[in-house]
Amino acid sequence: MNGIVRVQEADVVSRLAELDLSRETLISIVKACAAGYGGCTDNDPPNARGFETWRWGVRRAREELRPAGWEKDDSGNYSTVVNHNRQIRLAIMNADDGAGMPDRVPLNRAKKGPNSEKVATRNDQLSFPGAEFWPVPEADELKKNIETYSTWHLCVHINGDIVRAELALLNGFSNGFFNDFVEKIIVIGEGDWNNVGFKTGPDDDFGPELDFEIARK
């Protein structure tokens, strides 16, 4: 594990800006993941929490980023949000307790398949010195070669009241699991979740605000 780890706030904010992202946007996505997780009960199927966490994360990522010029993409059944100008994709990943920990590699909770292995391989290729100087295709050609982009994962770990998250450029892959990273940016570290602000009011509700008029009969 020799990747870059970004923890200090100024470094985190600066690096995220280079990716056309912000900590506030990523925290909004994590909140949606937590809401999906919290909406499940013991009566749901065993994999419901994992699916709902991921589903709400993908949805919120698209709600946040598409207005800013990102595009949704589901090619190869790999649901991401794509930034063609930066040549990057953002994916949501349910992670183990390594997420948000500077000295750990975030591991995916569920075993992944060929698409994730391709992502790890491509990220590894782009991590080599000089990769940034490779020829850049024209804009129209870029949209046909999304698999050549680097793919960042918002790795979210939720276990009851414990929530941590990081944005990671994962590159190691073995037996269905990511096992190394090129770079990781801590978004919500250990103990930070208690300090994340939660607004009260209609913005917290995923549905429309309803007004009721009560009349005396």
- Give the pLDDT score at 57: 98
pLDDT score, position 130: 44
Which has more confidence, 41 or 200?
Answer: 41
Model confidence pLDDT, tens digit, residues 67-97: 999 999 998 889 999 999 999 999 999 999 9
Q: How confident is the model at residue 9 (pLDDT cuts 50, 70, 90)?
A: very high
Rounded average pLDDT over 182-195: 95
Whether pLDDT at 41 is above 50: yes
- Asked whether residue 129 is domain-assigned, the answer is yes
Question: Which of 10, 66, 68, 56 lies closest to 30 in space, CA to CA?
Answer: 56
**Span 125-148, pLDDT tens digits:** 887 544 443 445 555 555 557 888
Count how many domains the chain has.
Answer: 1
pTM of the entire predicted model: 0.83
The alpha carbon dihedral of 145, 172, 50, 202 has a sign of negative
Which whole-number Å values give the CA distances from 179 to 53, 67, 106, 120, 148, in the listed order?
22, 33, 8, 9, 21
Residue 212 inside a domain? The answer is no
Identify the domain containing residue 116 by its residue range: 4-204
Answer whether residue 210 is part of any domain: no
Residue 102, domain member (yes or no):
yes
Return the DSSP state at 135.
P
